[in-house]
Amino acid sequence: MATTTPDSLAAGRAYQQQLLALLGHDDPAEVAQATASAVQSLLKEAGSDLTRRPAAGEWSMLELIGHLVDAEIVMSGRYRWAISQDEPPLLAYDQDLWVARLRHNEAHPDELLAVFSALRDANLRLWRRSTAEDRERVAIHAERGPESYGLMFRMLAGHDRFHLNQMRETLRLLREPR
């Protein structure tokens, strides 16, 4: 298990700020609500480029969608631990290992989108019925230290924007003349 060090805390804070900057002052629930349809549109736009990687070590569109599913799975648990338990520990995870070992590039896109949509809907319902006190409850991330439910929810909305932008850039790179 990863341990919290001054360097990991600093890197974690920078990551948090990057995602929160992408969210800006927008309502995180509105951003989260719009993500599934944006992914659906990008899936259609990708067509035969769905599994192509723009460069070595970069994710394909399908792998990016798989990563969004992985993040939603992980965050579903983290939200519930933060609300239900007193300062529970949260494991970090290696997103590259998950994408590779879960073979997202071999997955069916409609199945990934169905899982994402079902989890996202459940997490939005949880957010909408949560209280201000729920949103202030804290869990302890293995690398970033304390994070409240509210912070995690806002970060995930910024994470959505980051990866939607990455999907658009992936398609642009795949289609630019060489």
Q: Which of 76, 93, 71 is nearest to 161 (CA)?
A: 71
47 within domain boundaries: yes
Q: Given this model, what pLDDT does residue 25 score?
A: 97
Q: For the chain, give the mean pLDDT.
A: 95
Q: Mean pLDDT lowest for which of 7-11, 49-53, 164-168?
A: 7-11
CB-CB contact of 19 with 148 (8 Å): no
160 within domain boundaries: yes
Collapsed DSSP state (helix, strand, coil) of residue 58: coil
Burial 63-90 (b: 16+ CB within 10 A, else e): bbbbbbbbbbebbeebbbbbbeeeebeb
Does position 1 have pLDDT exceeding 50, yes or no?
no
113 within domain boundaries: yes
Over range 13-35, report the average pLDDT.
96
Q: Which of 144, 137, 155 is nearest to 88 (CA)?
A: 137
Residue with tokens 């809907």: 121
The overall pTM is greater than 0.85 = yes
How far is 144 from 167, CA to CA, in rounded Å? 26
What is the count of structural domains for the chain? 1
Q: Given this model, what pLDDT does residue 3 score?
A: 60
Q: How many CB atoms lie within 10 A of CB 44?
A: 9
1 within domain boundaries: no
Tens of pLDDT, residues 109-135: 999 999 999 999 999 999 999 999 999
Tens of pLDDT, residues 58-104: 999 999 999 999 999 999 999 999 999 999 999 999 999 999 999 99
CATH number for position 149: 1.20.120.450
120 within domain boundaries: yes
Its domain, for residue 89, covers: 6-175
Q: Given this model, what pLDDT does residue 18 score?
A: 94
36 within domain boundaries: yes
Does position 4 have pLDDT exceeding 70, yes or no?
no
